[in-house]
Amino acid sequence: MTGDSAEIAELSFEDALRALEDVVRKLESGEVPLDDSIALYERGEALRRHCQARLDSAQARIERIVQGADGTPSGTQPFDAPDR
């Protein structure tokens, strides 16, 4: 894992999102030289992947317990299931 990848892996979702927003602002400004833009784009993509992985992990953890007729847990169901 490179230094930049290790640093990104340590970021909270909120910090990674702020860093990604900063990368987007810099790229959209059009004032960054081409080589720097490519490096920023690569960092932005790594930040995006990190944020998506954190979101996917959170969604997997947000499950509600489906209770049977007797009130005991009978399984789990995704939090955003349509029959909530």
Average pLDDT score over residue span 22-38: 96
- Domain assignment present for residue 15? The answer is yes
- 83 in a domain, yes or no? no
Q: What amino acid is encoded at 3 in this protein? A: G
DSSP helix/strand/coil, 76? strand
pLDDT of residue 84 exceeding 60, the answer is: no
10: domain CATH number is 1.10.287
Q: How would residue 23 be classed by pLDDT, with cut points 50, 70 and 90?
A: very high
Give the number of domains in the chain.
1
Longest dimension (CA), the chain: 65
Torsions phi, psi for 18 (to 5 deg): -60, -40
Q: What is the pLDDT of residue 29?
A: 96
Q: Which amino acid is at 17?
A: L
Its domain, for residue 55, covers 3-78
Q: Is residue 54 part of a domain?
A: yes
